[in-house]
Amino acid sequence: MSLDPPTYLASLQSNIRQRPIPWDGAVRAGTLTEEQLAKIRAVDKVKRDVRKQVIEADLDGYRTLFAGKNEKRSVLESASKRPDVCQYLLVLLSDLLDNVPALSKAFFESDDSNPYKDILPLLAHSTNTEDPIPLLTSIVLVKLMAGSRDESTATAEKALPMLYSYLASLTKNSDAGLQDIGVQEYSQLLYSHVCRQQFWKQRSETVGPLIDILRAAAGVSGGDASANLWSGTTAPLRSGFEASVGGGVGLQLLYHVLLVLWQLSFEAAEIGDDLNDEYEIVLLYTHLLRLSPKEKTTRLLIATLYNLLSNNQNSLLPTAVLARLPQLLQNLSSRQFTDPDLVEDRDKLRELVEEYTKTKTTFDEYVAEVNSGHLRWSPPHRSTVFWAENARKILDYENGEIVRKLAEIMQKPWENDKAVLAIACNDVGYLVREAPEKRSQLERYGIKSRIMELMGEADENVRWESLRALGGWLQYSFDTK
């Protein structure tokens, strides 16, 4: 998948190409040999078709030039102490890999050379963010791997993890240009199951910062991101979305992040549940879909949701319903999209969700909400009819599993979303009133003692709901004496 190079990178490479290099002096200084210089001059500053013809006639020679062979040093190793020469060679190699696709494959076709031996160390050439050598090196490595589609041990177990770590440092940079370079290079690397699995294995470095970018775009960030998404309270976003979305996230950066996570979603059968457990991606994507500024971002959001939900129907479709995806898809069905693939994906996703919701009751929705670990004021909580019909069913469900889950939710402090505690107390109050003989079951899980603790909460809603719940408890305690 080809993406336009970020402006910063294109400008940096262009400036380096135009720099005069004292090649003859470099030969006299022992930075490179006459033979190496002859090969460089044969492909430097020549027409593309000439360059292609020269390299294809001597693939082994140009692999040796940049990767070394047996005792023969590569030009990158010998020039590593000369930053100007090293930068020029990295840009030249990047251009050659673009112009001659066979060259990237040639790097992996010899048993006599390690394609990464002299390139990989340049990733750690300097910790100075102004030094372009690590960045230029990462571009070469990405083109080598993506161009060859290599999955050898040298790539999968050593080079790829190191490259992901370096690119992760770019995505965490405050400079949006560097962030975009890192994200675009990720996209080039996710060409196989092996590469995507490694990307997920390093998710604290790779996926986490991308989710942070999406949360900023959605108008939520920091410790209260989850609470704001569930409650629907997000920072106001500028209208129009012409150049940027929430949090100052550029539209192009948003698109590239969504592209990477869409590529990752092809592993949804294996990682979908964990992706949602750790990053609440179904909720986040549903919210972003409401705000999506362009068809191209809408298409990626819908396609990713479809991959996730279709491969994890039992676990993720309940969350999608809680996030109000069905209503959103209904609204989107009236939108006139010009992209036929987007229309097809939207219709497939809507059919999948509608088929699920056809057979689900209010009780099922309540169970799904409790299992999600996050409560909101959805209709069942205040419905006396719901509790009259379902209180005992909830208490008996799977040997008390829902009550256990409710107790777990209540034990958390919910510093950024006290409404969860108020809702839990509300539910406990209904359970006690509708099934007073089951009070001991609730007490076994520490729910009564937690209710008493919550009476001292600073939040008045939590205090009120805990007082109401305890009042029911005390009433039935006296009634049975």
Residue 242, pLDDT score: 45
Q: What value, to the nearest 5°, has the Cα angle with vertex 21 and ends 17 and 27?
A: 135
pTM of the model: 0.84
What is residue 386's three-state secondary structure? helix
Q: So what's the pLDDT on residue 243?
A: 52
Strand partners, 69: 72
Let me know: does 308 contact 265? Beta carbons within 8 Å. yes
Q: Which of 293, 288, 284 is nearest to 319 (CA)?
A: 284
Backbone angles phi, psi at 179, to 5 degrees: -55, -45
Length of the chain: 481
At 131 the three-state DSSP class reads: coil
List, as own/partner pairs, every contact residues 450-458 make where C-beta atoms lie below 8 angstroms and the sequence separation is at least 24, other chains included. 450/407, 450/410, 450/411, 451/425, 454/410, 454/421, 454/425, 457/418, 457/421
Tokens found for residue 143: 């083109």
- Residues with Cβ within 8 Å of 283's Cβ and at least 6 positions away in sequence, in order, are 226, 229, 230, 319, 322, 323
Tokens representing residue 83 in the block: 């930053």
Q: Residue 428 in contact with residue 469, Cβ under 8 Å?
A: yes
CA atoms within 13 A on the CB side of 92: 25
How far lies 461's CA from each of 199, 215, 386, 430, 458, in Å? 43, 28, 22, 16, 9
C-alpha 118/C-alpha 90 separation (Å) is 12
Predicted local confidence at residue 377, as pLDDT: 86
Q: What is the pLDDT of residues 116-168, one digit of tens each?
A: 989 999 998 877 778 899 999 999 999 999 999 999 888 999 999 999 999 99
Q: Which residues contact 49 (CB under 8 A, 6 or more apart)?
A: none
Q: Residue 47: how many CB atoms within 10 A of its CB?
A: 8
Rounded mean pLDDT for each run of 10 residues along the chain, 481 residues in total? 72 94 93 94 94 95 91 90 94 96 90 82 84 95 95 91 96 91 96 96 97 91 58 48 63 95 98 93 94 93 98 91 91 91 95 90 89 86 92 93 95 91 95 91 93 94 94 68 45
Query: Three-state DSSP class for 128?
Result: coil
